[in-house]
Amino acid sequence: MANPALSWRHILLALAVMVVWGANFVVIKVALGQLPPLLLATLRFTFALVPAVFFLKRPRVAWRNLAAYGVLIGAGQFGLLFIAMNGHISPGLASLVVQSQVFFTIGLAMVLSGERVKLYQIFALMLATAGIGVILWHTDTTTTPLGLALVIAAAMAWAGGNVVARRAGAVNMLAYVVWGSLFSIPPLLALTLIVDGPTAIGAALAHADAGAWAAVAYQSVGNTLFGYAAWGWLLSRYPAATITPMSLLVPVVGMAASALWLGEGLEPWKLAAAALVMAGLALNMLWPVVAVRR
């Protein structure tokens, strides 16, 4: 393992990934102005798969593992997230609430491994839950209880995908994500055909402008291919404890980008909710690092 201290170039690379992932929530909202959510998700994984699948060797994992990952991340995480963001929750809050996947991932891992929950994890969960409770208390026309529930369900699906990916072992994560997209597309395509119908899909595709297609490209190339490739490259060269805390910047960028580009208000209650959720995430992520150093 390389020196735990990040070089400036690698810090900039990690920050670039955080900006791409955080700003992605604004891009999703822009794309949803012209494309139905399930169609957008289908296109996202289609262009993540093709043409990259022809240049990346299939990782040596069971097909059922790839299938489980693809369905959980595709139809589960992004299908539900896109539906939620289609008028049921603001992009900034979506970027924040979906980070609850950290606690669902821990919970699933503990159920499967029998590991006992630690005291600091209980406090971290309480802080994050309090933050989500603040959001629920202030639901309105821009953020509804349905939207909040859908994003939490998306976070649970993401957590399931994390557990499945962890069971795949040490693989090329970019190739894993690309080949997993092969199994994301069929359920999403079936759902958009059922929910939206061929006529609406055809009309949306025919009338989508350059901005909508740029948003799809951002989803596939920027968010997926660049993001996962760069993040996986950094994780392969530094300890996870050095890299993963930087993911705390994703909701910060997400909320700031939504405020700057979409005019989403940053009311005191939103900032309080963000502070609680971020405190919970930070405690969960940084406490083990501090404990080891002490």
2 inside domain: no
Q: What is the pLDDT of residue 245?
A: 80
**Is 174 contained in some domain?**
yes
Q: Note whether residue 72 is domain-resident.
A: yes
Give how far the C-alpha of residue 25 lies from the chain's centroid of Cα atoms, to the nearest Å.
9
Angstrom distance (rounded) from CA 255 to CA 251: 6
In this predicted structure, what is the pLDDT of residue 3?
45
**What tokens appear for 189 in the block?**
């395509």
Domain count along the chain: 1
What is the model's pTM?
Answer: 0.90
Range of the domain at 71: 8-293
Cα–Cα distance for residue pair 194/191, rounded to 1 Å: 5
Q: Which amino acid is at 120?
A: Y
* Structural domain includes residue 272: yes
The answer to the question of residue 1 being in a domain is no
Q: Considering only CA atoms, which of 253, 214, 229 is closest in space to residue 40?
A: 214
- Report the pLDDT value the prediction gives residue 1, as an integer from 0 to 100: 41
Low-confidence residues of the chain: pLDDT under 70: 1-5, 240-241, 291-294
Question: Does 3 reside within a domain?
Answer: no
Read off the tokens for 77.
């995480």
The angle, 0 to 180 degrees and rounded to 10, between the axes of the packed helices 210-217 and 8-31 is 140
22 domain-assigned = yes
Q: What is the predicted pLDDT for the residue at 258?
A: 95
Backbone φ/ψ region at 169: left (φ over 0), alpha (ψ -120 to 50), beta:
left
Return the pLDDT at 179. 96
Domain assignment present for residue 275? The answer is yes
